[in-house]
Amino acid sequence: MALLRTKLRKLVNEKSITTDYTMTLLNKTIEGIEKVSIDPDGNIKNRFDKLAIPAGSLGRLEEFATIYASIKGTPDATIKHKVVFTMAGDHGVSSEGVSVFPQEVTRQMVKNFLNGGATVSILARHVGARVVVVDCGVKADFMPVDGLKIKKVAYGTGNIACGPAMSREQAIKSLEVGIDVFNEEFMNGMDIIATGDMGIANTTPSSAIIACLTGADLSKVTGRGTGLNDNGVKNKINVIKTALDINKPDHSDPIDVLSKVGGFEIGGIAGLCLAAASHKTPVVIDGFISTAAALIACAIEPKVNDYLISSHTSTENGHEIALEKLQKKAILNLGLRLGEGTGAVLAMGIIEASVKTFTQMATFTDAEVSTPCSKKQFAAK
């Protein structure tokens, strides 16, 4: 963290960053993040012990409720306002044949989100979450409409197989996009958020980020994305290797990694994680792309990890490696690999169920149910 701040200050001194606002907002957000202490005074466990159920019988639901209440700082915390942020951006590397879909699908899917016809739109309605779509860097223009935030850093990234995805200034700006949209929506009420993504070819920069920040072999973190065949995967691995060789991202500097081989929507998701942590708001991270972004956020400020809950294990190659790096165990394993925030929204419903169970269930006393017999009682018999 100290090294990162030193590099940020150096950029300001060298006037590589042209606005004081950019640096001030990022630094202010980072400095506002506090470590989470899990059930520091034992009040959460005490309440669970009094509930009219056998101890530990709710399994991981108890874990989720404990994490949520600890982040919020009270065992009485409830969930009323749920928001899923679907961050969209295009990638120059799509020209290298790393996706089976053309780049214009990003633009088309943004419209589908706004029309309410996408999978994440349907699942969000199912769990009662509000969808916020963010144009972080789509290679198209959109008319301002409800539900869309236009925060375009640029019209897509550069082709990482030929040079950096973006400048360092743009990388910081992409982080700022996530911070901005969180701060704006926080005013409307937000108890928990889910992250989502849309960007044709974005599993390629995500694989590059995960390889860089975990040290894993490219073959272990590069998958089929939207449906590549074996030859397509081989080409994708070669493209990522070329990108890493040409750009030489510094694994000790997460902003350098983001700028060299990342994406605008990936930076936006990382910024969301930073902002949410600074506001003590739990973040349910989606699949492969969101987890790559979470690695960036945690490398910038490790305390962010305390606020992250992994929603599901994607079938995309390398997701489990990224989760291991974050030391996270996903809630679901449904064979999902869609993105958009779909897995995160589903898991959000389970987290809400755990919190409702914890806060609304009757105690042994309230329900007039006998408490468990003690070990001494069993011994006496």
Residue 202 buriedness (CB in 10 A; 0-12 / 13-18 / 19+): buried
SS3 198: strand
Q: CA-CA distance, 196 to 84, in Å (whole number)?
A: 7
For residue 212 the two structure tokens come to 């860089």
Catalytic residue among 14, 340, 352, 368: 340
Name, in order, each residue with C-beta under 8 angstroms of 376's C-beta and a sequence gap of 6 or more. Answer: none
Q: CA-CA distance, 330 to 245, in Å (whole number)?
A: 32
Q: Contact 313/324 with Cβ under 8 angstroms?
A: no
Q: Contact 84/341 with Cβ under 8 angstroms?
A: yes
For residue 81 the two structure tokens come to 């306002």
Alpha helices in the chain (DSSP H): 2-13, 20-31, 43-50, 60-72, 104-115, 119-127, 168-186, 203-214, 218-221, 230-247, 254-261, 264-278, 288-300, 319-326, 342-360, 364-367, 375-380
Measured CA to CA in angstroms, residue 252 lies from 75, 102, 114, 375, 379 at distances of 38, 34, 38, 53, 58
Closest CA to 122 of 379, 338, 323: 338
Is 340 an active-site residue?
yes
SS3 206: helix
The vertex-212 CA angle with 208 and 217, nearest 5°, equals 80
A 10 A CB-CB count for 176 gives 24
| Sign of torsion over alpha carbons 96, 99, 101, 103 | negative
Q: Catalytic amino acids?
A: 340
